[in-house]
A and B are shown apart, each in its own frame.
Chain A
Amino acid sequence: MAGSDLFVGTLDILILKSVSLGPQHGYGIGRWIRQTTNEVLQVQEGALYPALHRLQRKGLVDEEWGVSETGREAKYYRITPLGRRQLRAEASRWREHAEAVSLALAAAQP
């Protein structure tokens, strides 16, 4: 798997969206991103972790250690209220951005 073809900041939104659905460990987050984006957005799996730790430092996600579905102790990430606010703001910004780009691309006249 080559490097990411994601726009800057996209990975953060995807992580926040993933954990907003419920606590999840890093592996699960990566799997969710792959599946929900139909494997179009490819993230190098290891790159997920520095992003997660950065989001934790910024207080957007929090950690809690729990037992995984395979019965092993794993680090779970949970969204914080601050992270939820950030997700809402980023999502609407993302939509505006995408709409604007789509409009531009749909323009008939030069």
Chain B
Amino acid sequence: MKRRFRLSIGERGIKKDVAQEIEFHIDMRTRELIDAGADPADARAQAIATFGDVPRFSEACEGETRKRVHRAAWKERLDTVFQDVRYAIRTLGRSPGYTVTALVTLALGIGANSAMFSVVDGVLLRQPPYANASRLTVVAHPVPSLQIADLAFSPIEVSEFRAGTPAFDQLAEYHSMAFDLLGHGDPRRVQTGVVSADFFNVLGVKPYLGRTFAPGEDAMGAAPVLVLGYDFWVNQLGADSSIVGKSFTMNDRQHLVIGVLPPLPAYPNSNDVWMPISSCPFRSSPQVRNSRTARMVSLIGRLGPGHTFQEAQRELATVESRGHVEHPDDYKGVKDASILASPVRIAMKSDADSAFMILLGIAALVLLIACANVAHLTLARQLRREREFAIRGALGAARGRIVRQLVTESILLSLAGSVIALGLAWASVGALARVAAKFTPRANEIVLDWRVVVFTLGIAVLTGVVFGVVPALGDRSDLATRLREGGHATSSASKVRMRSLLVMVEVALAFVVLVGAGLMIRTFEGLLRTDVGYDPEHVVTAHLDLNFTKYNTSALDRQFDDALLARLRLQPGVVTAALASEFPASSSSPQNLTAFDIVGRPAPDSAHEPKAELSIVTPAYFATVGTRILAGREFTEADRDSAGRVTIISQSAAHRFFGNQNPVGQQITVPGAKNLELTIVGVSGDVRQFGPAADVSEQLYLPFQRFTVRDARLLVRSNAPTGATSNLIKDAVHALDQNQPVIDFRTLSAARDDAMGPWRLTTILLALFAAVALAIAAAGLGGIVAYTVGQRTEEFGIRLALGAEPSAVRWLILSDGLRLVIIGLGIGLAAAVASLGLMSRLLVGVRSTDPMTYGAVAAVFVSVALLACLVPARRATSIDPASVLKGA
């Protein structure tokens, strides 16, 4: 029986086969009928009638066959892929050196991108985890002249905004304060979000347990209730699921726990617990409720359907300007207060976001370098495999099939690399999130989830296609020629050119990455060396927020403060101790920028009003932080009584506002201090109050004893170790009041280091990326030089045999390698100058075109290149000319 082979069969084939089969049946039937004695004239008609509806049955047969053929075709395609994959695994396994190098290179390149993408995706790309995120609008009250980003709003203003903004469905208010929480364990100081009852509804947050605030629970006189934050509930209360319905004591009142929140961004602040405004003694006090200037709350609104941010901005601005017109007295000193409504995703951006974007960009460059290097390794491998391809070609493998095989190998490699990369990213993402938590509210959204996996696999496939196809591009020679050339692998000139090009690309890209890292290192090193104007070593700071229900008069406050400082100064090891409203690097932006007038001078317009950052400090503050008094004196105990209308200004403020005049003895008036006239008694050294990266700030200091600060920072300079000093502070506070919390122990140097956090992280990651880039580029360069030396062994042998100096041959090799490096560096230089301007925002004290950095990086490259070329060069000159010539 003869067989017909059909690997694939088209639509026409299907129809033909079915027709033929049915035709055969009808013929056979006709013949049978005739044999049985039927009239040949109508036997065929009879046969067709017995068969039935021919078109219907044909169609049914064709349908079945079509399904079968399609499935077979898919199966064949899959089989081919599996076959390619199996073959790829076998061939890759045969060259473990290539496979491992490519895998490591790809894993590092892809892993860097996965990790950085998870960060950027978490803090920038995805919507915040609020159900109404796309409609949430954060309303700020900026005062440009005082560099205040948000002055906040008073409750009276809030009610006016609610009435005048139809664009909003709801407009919720928010502020955050610390309170003492008693019950269920030790007394705790808890950061408390204080909100209108509709706040969680506006955000679209559903409770994790229990419920959130109900309408009316924020009305004055409502029973106090609490909603717990997720982290607080887990970390402080052991995730006790029976907590709903229990009570805590806060501010001498029972607060009923009604619910627990899900994990949320630390936005607008990180809060432990939440209460309605009616439960907050400050917010519900008549002074706050009835004053237009009691600006203490922020606003966040949800746009109604069909309304836009622009509409909201317009409506808010209208209400604001009406306030300025109707109540000019309430805008004294903040005449240029305005309104800024922004989508919540924008409002949640942090200063570090641009650093993350730059890191992702640099990671992409590292991947490109990895890609170029693997492409170049792949080319080298293909040169060695030319014979294999030629034989397969001669045996009938189509050129397309061979290219597909190569691309299968490269995609397989990059997918395997991406699995390792995901492992690397998974291992590092926790640490990245922890570090990022110091400067972005959305750090808990930095996770390795399906979005990161999809991104990773996507770039892996792209990478595989790029480094699989690029090597095939330069190849136009036909197989037969190559086979005829026989013997050893023949170096098609185009492939060698392509390899050189790839190495130049690697060098150029690596140069950009290294210069980026260099600029960052210079910035960071500059920050470390910056004279901050104080001595951060050996000073421990703590947060002392006196319980205001107990210390409810300034006299009681003062009594406690005096007793505490006196007690601390007597402790062994303690050099000095002080209290202050803030300390250097305790915040990264002005907190109390204050306008003042100089007595005896005409009042300037508000834009030119003297302004300085106000700190309230006790005597010995300057001695404690280690800032010198340059003229006049420090505050003394005598400054506490009414005679003590004194102030100290910093050198830069003195210089700016008094020029060459001696500021000591001059008088100023500060509007906040009830228009008291203050005499300048001293000039202090300049301090970088907002961290080493910020400029020196103009400072104004007032004596703590006259201007009480309940929420104060305690500073102790001590010779004892940090831990001992912290315990000593705790003991001293508790000796005076068992129930007074003192928290947030931090050394002054840690505060300075934290202020450099984004720079530290960026520097470390960029240095890491740069090391990877340099290693890959050096390996690539060494690889190509070694290959060319291998190719030219005969030539060198002949040269040496003819009496060439080994040093001349060595130079020949070095100059070949150096030529690639120098062209690469030239391209890199242009690319770096063109692109690294994007980094300017991160750079402090160094320009993005800093010649020092460029020079140093170029020098590093040339030395690494020399090293990479020297090894093969030495091998070349140690060739025994005789053996080469015999072999040739």
Contact = CB atoms under 8 A, between A and B. Distances in A.
Interface stretch (A13-21, A62-70, A97-105): A62-70
A23 B1 contact: yes
Given A46-B53, A53-B65, A27 B24 contact: yes
A1 B50 contact: yes
A68 B24 contact: yes
Contact of B1 (A30, A45, A53, A67): A67
Residue of B22, B24, B27, B71 with most partner-chain A CB within 10 A: B24
A95 interface: no
Contacts of A84: none
B24 A25 contact: yes
A47 B61 CA distance: 10
Contacts of A47: 52, 57
Contacts of A27: 24-25, 28-29
Interface string A36-63: 0000000011110110111011000000
Contact of B4 (A23, A65, A72): A65
B31 interface: yes
Interface residues of A, number: 28
Interface string B1-44: 11110000000000001101110110111010000000000000
A86 to B, nearest CB: 17
Contacts of B51: 44-46
A49 B21 contact: yes
B52 A46 contact: yes
B237 interface: no
A63 to B, nearest CB: 9
A68 B29 CA distance: 14
Interface string A76-93: 100000000000000000
Contacts of B71: 57
Nearest to A74: B24
B21 A74 contact: yes
B74 to A, nearest CB: 14
A75 B29 contact: no
B24 A72 contact: yes
Interface in B60-113: 60-61, 64-65, 67-68, 71
B54 interface: yes
A66 B1 contact: yes
A75 to B, nearest CB: 5
Contacts of A49: 18, 21-22, 25, 57-58, 60-61
Contacts of B22: 46, 49
Contacts of A65: 2-4
A65 B6 CA distance: 10
Interface SS of B by simple majority: helix
Contact of A26 (B4, B25, B27, B50): B25
A89 to B, nearest CB: 22
A23 B57 CA distance: 22
A54 to B, nearest CB: 5
Contact of A50 (B25, B54, B60): B60
A23 B27 CA distance: 20
A53 B15 CA distance: 13
Interface residues of B, number: 30
Contacts of A70: 28, 31
A66 B4 CA distance: 8
A57 B61 contact: no
Interface string B515-542: 0000000000000000000000000000
Contact of A64 (B1, B54, B61): B1
Contact of A66 (B2, B25, B50, B52): B2
B64 A54 contact: yes
B2 A67 contact: yes
A27 B28 CA distance: 7
Contacts of B25: 26-27, 30, 45, 49
Query: Most chain-B CB neighbours within 10 Å: which of A1, A46, A49?
Result: A46
Contact of B17 (A1, A46, A66, A75): A75
Contact of A57 (B24, B50, B67): B67
Nearest to B55: A46
A87 B416 CA distance: 46
A45 B29 contact: yes
Contacts of A76: 1
B3 A44 contact: no
A50 B22 CA distance: 11
Nearest to B59: A50
A27 B30 CA distance: 12
Nearest to B25: A27
Contacts of A30: 25
Interface in B125-159: none
Contacts of A46: 22, 51-54, 56-57
Given A45-B51, A75-B21, A57 B64 contact: yes
A73 B50 CA distance: 22
A56 B69 CA distance: 11
A20 to B, nearest CB: 17
Contacts of A53: 18, 60-61, 64-65, 68
A46 B3 CA distance: 25
A30 B54 CA distance: 16
A72 B52 CA distance: 23
A1 B51 CA distance: 9
A45 B52 contact: yes
B32 to A, nearest CB: 8
Contacts of B24: 25-27, 68, 72, 74-75
Contacts of A23: 1
A23 B2 CA distance: 13
Nearest to B54: A46
A26 B25 CA distance: 7
6 contacts: A1-B50, A27-B24, A45-B52, A49-B21, A56-B64, A75-B24
Interface of B: 1-4, 17-18, 20-22, 24-25, 27-29, 31, 50-54, 56-58, 60-61, 64-65, 67-68, 71
Given A26-B25, A70-B28, 19 more contacts: A1-B50, A26-B24, A44-B51, A45-B50, A45-B51, A46-B51, A46-B54, A47-B57, A49-B22, A49-B25, A49-B58, A49-B61, A50-B61, A56-B64, A57-B71, A65-B4, A74-B21, A75-B21, A76-B1
The 7 tightest CB contacts between A and B, nearest first, are A46-B52, A53-B64, A50-B60, A46-B57, A66-B1, A57-B68, A65-B4
